[in-house]
Amino acid sequence: MKKILVIEDDVLLRRSLLKILNAEGFQLLEADNGQDGLELLHTQQPDLVLCDLIMPNLDGYGVLEHLRSNPETLSIPFICLTAQHERSNLRRIMELGADDYLTKPYSKSELLAAIQAQFNKQERVNFSVLLSESQGLIQLTGNKQDESQINLSDQLSLQSKFKQILKEINSPEQSVPVFILSLDRLEQFQDYLGADYGDILVQAVINRIHDELKRAGFIVKFKDEKIALILPPISDQNEIEKIAINLLSCLSKPIQIFDYKLLLGCCLGVSLYPQHDYHFDNLLIKANIALRQAQQQGTYSYFVYTNEIWTKIQDRFRLEIDLHHALDKEEFIIHYQPQLDLKTGKIIGAEALFRWQHPQRGLVPPIECLSIAEENDLIVEIDEWMIRQVCQQVKQWQNQGFELSVAVNISGVKFHQRNLGRYVMQVLKQTELDPKYLELELTESVLVKNPERSVAMLHELKDLGIGLSLDDFGTGYSSLSYLQKFPFDTLKLDRCFVQDVNLHVKNAAIVKATIVMAHSLNMRVIAEGVETKAEQQFLRDHECDCLQGYWFSRPVEARMFEQFIQANSAAIAAKPLSTLEQ
């Protein structure tokens, strides 16, 4: 009897699933959250997993990543249940290693057909393993084989040949390298030319690798757009790197397929037996980890796995799990960095900056936790939390007699959601905050992905009466046509131009020209990252409107920010511009 694990937080949907599957005679396990689902995965070893995608705490993405990163659960079929229909989300599910997905609502027949397809696939794989054990696998020898003899095989067959190669080790200094090679544009070519051309192209790549290596070894097509290779024992680490460089070099040249010359981008990840692991499945996982590192370096790069990388991945995974609980545990806080009017010396606003006070790690750098949040869409909850908290805080300050606007950074994920304007309007109404005291801050990279839609969204937000700020100007695309189209109120000069602006002629020219241009477009200019009095004086001399930076104040918690406002107001009343002359 097949055992199926159902992970679904919606009680009614879970009960409906269990009722259908029970009637079909399956043995059932159930969990209402991802964390409990993972425990059942390890203790019960189901034959298949049905998992909802969007769940509180640990979502379906997290369950899938954990399942595929653990050798014990690597081969368990995973079917994702999702209400999301966007192609990018579905593609991400498949890239993480899902075997199939069902979009809600789905019928009973669709559900059972998807499950049966996975069990049929398992049976075919088991049969092919037995077949390959008796017939052998593609072998690379010193002599060129006939192309018709080079076929594709699967991961488990490669594993049996890996065991054979281990018998060739005759010295403790020797390593057996496991390579994972990405074929970065294979799917694109298959979409254009057809799947048959994709298979021909993969075989052509294998042939070229064979010609380059000229040594014994084994090679297979390994999942999606990847090829796996194992080579006989090698004593010299430098030789492994030389092989990697030569492989990438030979594949950087176009491949002729009938009338087409095709250029594949590729990268290479390498793991070594026994330095990195003794188990073949783990070596494949670690070669994949190395491949991802190589891909971050750019096309035609390679990376040899290190144990330090694995430590970082484990640490990042634990951080992601903690991040899912952080909002409920009220661990998020906001720091406010004052914005100073350069003419009056008065604090007229602030930028709200997200901070996570982890109970064990302390303050987690935003660049670490926000990048994780963007990958699993938790960033949407963070953005909404930030908007609500800031509006409540600004209203509280107004009740204390302080009138200032506060800018909130918005992620690209939240900005491109159609309900952003509706959500902001709802929060403004609930907090009774005048819209002119809220400013949303966006970067150029967020806007240029879909300029037409961005223009429409910005105008929708502008119609609410809130301010709009363009952050990090000059570091991204910086097309002047965007400034003409987008209805921004504020342009923020990035720190890279402000730093030592009084000393560098080119930076000075850029800053002066930007200020003049922004003013001609009825935009005010805020200089970020001002750290010296000389920088402040230059900006003031050239009519920059505002500054923020460590020269005046680091980002601080709300209570300390209130003290800044009070001290600044007293200083202005006693001596105008005193804050600028210290």
What is the strand order of the sheet 27-31 is part of? 27-31, 3-7, 48-52, 78-82, 100-103
Which amino acid is located at 255 in the chain?
A: I
Please state the φ and ψ torsions of residue 300, each to the nearest 5 degrees.
Answer: 60, 40
45 strand-pairing partners: none
In the chain, the largest separation of any two C-alpha atoms, in whole Å, equals 92
- What stretch of H or E contains 457? helix 451-463
Q: What is d(CA 192, CA 397) in angstroms, rounded to the nearest whole number?
A: 59
Return the pLDDT at 73.
Answer: 82
Rounded to a whole number of angstroms, the CA Rg of the chain reads 29
Q: What is d(CA 394, CA 434) in angstroms, rounded to the nearest whole number?
A: 10
Secondary structure of residue 183 in the 3-state scheme: coil
Q: What is d(CA 277, CA 309) in angstroms, rounded to the nearest whole number?
A: 14
| Assigned token pair, 82 | 């999702």
| Assigned token pair, 45 | 């070893």
Return the pLDDT at 67.
Answer: 87
Q: What is d(CA 223, CA 327) in angstroms, rounded to the nearest whole number?
A: 37
Of 46, 47, 51, the C-alpha closest to 33 is 51
Q: What is d(CA 174, CA 237) in angstroms, rounded to the nearest whole number?
A: 9
CA angle 344, 349, 352 (to 5 degrees): 150
The one-digit pLDDT tens for each residue of the chain (582 residues) are 899 999 999 898 999 999 999 999 999 999 999 999 999 998 899 999 999 998 888 889 899 988 887 777 888 899 999 887 676 677 778 777 788 888 888 888 889 989 988 887 776 554 433 333 333 344 454 333 333 233 344 555 677 778 888 888 888 889 999 999 998 877 777 777 776 677 788 888 888 888 888 766 677 776 667 888 888 899 888 899 999 999 999 999 988 877 778 888 899 999 999 999 888 888 988 999 999 999 999 999 999 999 888 888 888 888 988 998 898 899 999 999 999 999 999 999 999 999 999 999 999 988 888 988 988 778 999 999 999 999 999 999 999 989 899 999 999 999 988 899 999 999 999 999 999 999 999 988 888 778 888 999 999 999 999 999 999 776 655 556 667 788 999 999 989 899 999 899 999 999 999 999 999 999 999 999 999 999 999 999 999 999 999 999 999 999 999 999 999 888 887 765 444 444
Return the pLDDT at 151.
Answer: 36
Q: What is d(CA 298, CA 321) in angstroms, rounded to the nearest whole number?
A: 29
Which amino acid is located at 536 in the chain?
A: Q
Q: How far, CA to CA in Å, does 201 sit from each of 192, 197, 225, 253, 283?
A: 13, 6, 11, 13, 26
Strand pairing report for 139-140 and 100-103: unpaired
| Assigned token pair, 465 | 């009466």
Return the pLDDT at 476.
Answer: 58
Of 71, 75, 25, 19, the C-alpha closest to 47 is 75
Q: What is d(CA 31, CA 8) in angstroms, rounded to the nearest whole number?
A: 7
Query: Positive or negative CA dihedral for 214, 215, 221, 227?
Result: negative
Return the pLDDT at 340.
Answer: 95
Please state the φ and ψ torsions of residue 79, each to the nearest 5 degrees.
Answer: -110, 125
Strand pairing report for 546-547 and 556-557: unpaired
Please state the φ and ψ torsions of residue 366, each to the nearest 5 degrees.
Answer: -55, -35
Cβ atoms < 10 Å from Cβ of 230: 25
Q: How far, CA to CA in Å, does 158 sit from each of 181, 250, 434, 480?
A: 15, 24, 66, 55
Q: What is d(CA 220, CA 149) in angstroms, rounded to the nearest whole number?
A: 13
Return the pLDDT at 523.
Answer: 95
Of 244, 274, 245, 243, the C-alpha closest to 174 is 274
Any idea how long the chain is?
Answer: 582
Of 56, 75, 43, the C-alpha closest to 8 is 56
Torsion angle of the four alpha carbons 21, 23, 29, 34, in this order, in degrees rounded to the nearest 10: 30
| Assigned token pair, 550 | 């460590």
Please provide the DSSP assignment of 74-106 as one string: TTS-EEEEES---HHHHHHHHHTT-SEEEESS-
> What SS3 string covers 16-33?
HHHHHHHHCCCEEEEECC
Given a contact cutoff of 8 angstroms between Cβ atoms, the answer to whether 371 and 408 are in contact is no
179 strand-pairing partners: 229, 270
Please state the φ and ψ torsions of residue 380, each to the nearest 5 degrees.
Answer: -65, -45
Which amino acid is located at 478 in the chain?
A: S
Q: What is d(CA 51, CA 340) in angstroms, rounded to the nearest whole number?
A: 51
Given a contact cutoff of 8 angstroms between Cβ atoms, the answer to whether 441 and 410 are in contact is yes
Q: What is d(CA 135, CA 290) in angstroms, rounded to the nearest whole number?
A: 32
Given a contact cutoff of 8 angstroms between Cβ atoms, the answer to whether 200 and 186 are in contact is no
Return the pLDDT at 479.
Answer: 58
| Assigned token pair, 47 | 């034959």
Secondary structure of residue 230 in the 3-state scheme: strand
Of 297, 293, 295, the C-alpha closest to 309 is 293
